[in-house]
Amino acid sequence: MIDSEYSQALPVIVGDYRYVEFVLVGCGGTGGFLSPSLARLILALNQGGKRAFATFVDPDSIEAKNIPRQNFVQAEMGFNKAQVLARRYSLAYGLEIRAIASSFEVEMVKPEWGKLTVVIGAVDNGAARTEIAKTLDVNQNYQVPKVWWLDCGNQGNGIPAGQVLLGSTHSLTLQNAFNHPDTPNFCINLPSPSVVAPTLLTPEKEALQSSHLSCAEMARLNQQALFINQRVAAEAIEMLAQLTLSRGLKRFATYFHAGVGSSRSVYSSPNTLVNFFKES
């Protein structure tokens, strides 16, 4: 059954833009499987008259242990993940996809007039997410957000569960959430992933150490379910398509457990968003 809040949900409108850049941070598990779908979305946007392109960011090289759970093959071992995926899908679809073979830094995102930027976090540590979160600070200077952050995550510990969160501001208020605060008919801003789930920014090492686990137990907790990355990627690309292509998005968080077949979303209704308003 669909949550009753869906009937009250307002569409998320990103405003008019001439072109869009998708910055995929993390090209391993989820990022690797998201990249071919992202390429198809870019192709659809281009065919629809919008210039779209992507930047893939990852400092890591492909290792043997990556092959079962990530979108790589044996022949690609030793090469940088971002460069392999950018080359693969730019050539396959004739798209503009560049690669940065280093850790993500906020300076890599450059808001420009007429440009929409969507930063896709497919990372598994608080430090990287903290850097991604900084990209939303620029939105304080604009009435309509220029940068959005989509965060992808999974539970680890071999559990086939995960979530996808989308947002644009760390300071959601009645004034900046809707087009008309008293009589809203669409959303302008959504709470950032780190507002919805503050633990995303918790340093991984610190969180594990505070739990008093052994090294073996910590390694087990980091183990991903074999097929979880494809499921997270599928949820993420649908949210991205609704945000930029069909413009019918009415949710900002989706949680699922593939093992038991459950899924739930949090919708962009005024009754729900008020729970994330920042107190003045």
Domains in the chain, please, with CATH?
Answer: 4-276 (3.40.50.720)
Q: Which stretches in the chain have pLDDT values below 50?
A: 205-211, 213-221
**Token pair in block for residue 199:** 């633990």
Encode pLDDT of 125-155 as tens digits: 999 999 999 999 999 999 999 999 999 999 8
Encode pLDDT of 77-104 as tens digits: 999 999 999 999 999 999 999 999 999 9
Rounded CA gap, 80 and 115, in Å? Answer: 28
Mean pLDDT of the chain: 92
> Quick one: pLDDT at residue 4?
76
> Quick one: pLDDT at residue 155?
86
> Quick one: pLDDT at residue 218?
39
Parallel, antiparallel, or unpaired: how do β-strands 251-257 and 51-57 relate? Answer: unpaired
> Quick one: pLDDT at residue 3?
65
pTM of the predicted protein model: 0.92
> Quick one: pLDDT at residue 157?
81
